[in-house]
A and B are shown apart, each in its own frame.
Chain A
Amino acid sequence: MTDPAKGPAISGLADLFAIAYRIEIDAVERYRLLADQMEVHNNLELVDTFRDLARAEGLHAEEIRRLAGDIDVAAQSRRIGGWTSEQSPEEADLSAVHYMMTPWHALRMALAGEQRALAFFERIVASTEDARIKALAQEFVAEETEHVALVHRLLRRHPPPPATWADDPDPPVSQE
């Protein structure tokens, strides 16, 4: 059993599939929200970045749905409920965004999310006594490890921005 404070309780493979699916769907919804925010604030490069991230997480969710076979992961994830004392591991932090942020910032957020998901599944591997749950959690650990590596590769294409990235020639604080 996982620590219930860290996520929904896992009593079988269906629960674990549902949680893994839920993690990806939560990430999709969060990236879509962030894309909308960037669209409203005319940061079009980030709109594309966040939509690409949402699309990638959606593909991960579909892969989990396929692996789960006959298990209705969407219905199961609604049944088991959500995170009660912390956020869904791959949800990007809404308070960490800025209207002039760059793809590097978005990818750093994505990396943090993938690392949280990896740690989440590693905790399950370490804590469960159920061999089948442990084996499936190990598969998710391998999957998340690949996602972490993928974001690292993407980050190589987007180096950190200069220190002046947030300088706005027409800042909102007009009185200063």
Chain B
Amino acid sequence: MSTAETRACRPADYRSDVKPVWCPGCGDHHILLSFTRAFAELGQPPEQIAVFSGIGCSSRIPAYTNCYGFHGVHGRSLALAAGLKVTRPDLTVVVASGDGDGYSIGGNHFLHACRRNLDLTYVVMDNRVYGMTKGQPSPTTEPDFDTALSPGGTGVSPFHPLVIALASGANFVARAFSGDLNGTTGILVDAIRHPGFSFVEILSPCVTFRPDEKEWKGKVHQAPVQATDDPGRAARRLMTDDGFNVGVLYRGSRRPYRPEFGHAGVDVGELEKEFAL
């Protein structure tokens, strides 16, 4: 989180005039509300926040906020966000992605962003399907997801994002459910405040291509234990949970990575000359 001065803002101050095109009933509508409520609770003015994204339904979110935003290329939101955070550490940087953009196309960036541990927050809105391109299986889709595009299911084990984040060095790991507005808002506030790379997976039902996910509302439950700072204990919990535990599951104490470019002798003017046409 940035160290800039805070001021009283209402959630509506973080909303743009652009109307979301997500399907009515989509969990992403809830997540947008949680974003704006979290920003208001943090008291960070919109111009002190940057929201990055890649491609997909979830990645439309920067346009719906009044903060600085960058709707980037597929899977590269973390690379873009890292660039900003390194050069402008005073800003609060939040990155939004989906399970396809974040775990497949951007999978490699995910690993190294966790490892690098820059002070930013990565939110993956996971609906276990490629919604924007009409329902293909994603890395988190169940192996028996049987559709015309995946007859008989893929037969492939799903990706386990929280375990991978932990093993790769993320400093804060949490799971939330879009339908729990207050809970998700609280986790986002916690994640943004926590130093280092914070990873928040938000289960966000796709009502169009995964109507079965409407049942998630009855499946999610509060994690029965407090967050641990022991990665080994966190790994055991994450490996054995049912995928519907919500709450902060790991809270580490690794020092965030913060390169000091000022001491490396890099001159922006000199760099620009190299690219001048």
Contact = CB atoms under 8 A, between A and B. Distances in A.
B252 interface: no
A98 B134 contact: no
A41 B22 CA distance: 9
Q: Which of A34, A37, A41, A82 has the most CB of B within 10 A?
A: A37
B30 interface: yes
Q: Which of A34, A97, A174 has the most CB of B within 10 A?
A: A97
Interface string A6-47: 000000000000000000000001000110111111000000
Contacts of A40: 19-21
B209 interface: yes
B237 interface: no
Contacts of B182: 82-87
A176 to B, nearest CB: 5
How many residues of B sit at the interface, in one of the four size bands?
Answer: 20 to 34
Interface in B131-151: 134-135, 147-149
Contacts of A97: 24-25
A106 to B, nearest CB: 11
B194 to A, nearest CB: 20
Nearest to A100: B24
Interface residues of A, number: 28
Nearest to A46: B24
Contacts of B12: 29
B56 to A, nearest CB: 16
B205 interface: yes
Q: Which of B10, B20, B24, B205 has the most CB of A within 10 A?
A: B24
B23 interface: yes
Interface string B1-43: 0000000001010000001111111010110010000000000
Contact of B20 (A36, A82, A83, A101): A36
B209 A34 contact: no
Contacts of A94: 25, 29-30, 33
A38 B24 contact: yes
Given A87-B182, A175-B147, A99 B24 contact: yes
B217 interface: yes
A169 interface: no
A28 to B, nearest CB: 11
11 contacts: A36-B20, A37-B20, A37-B22, A37-B29, A41-B23, A82-B182, A86-B182, A94-B29, A95-B30, A95-B217, A101-B24
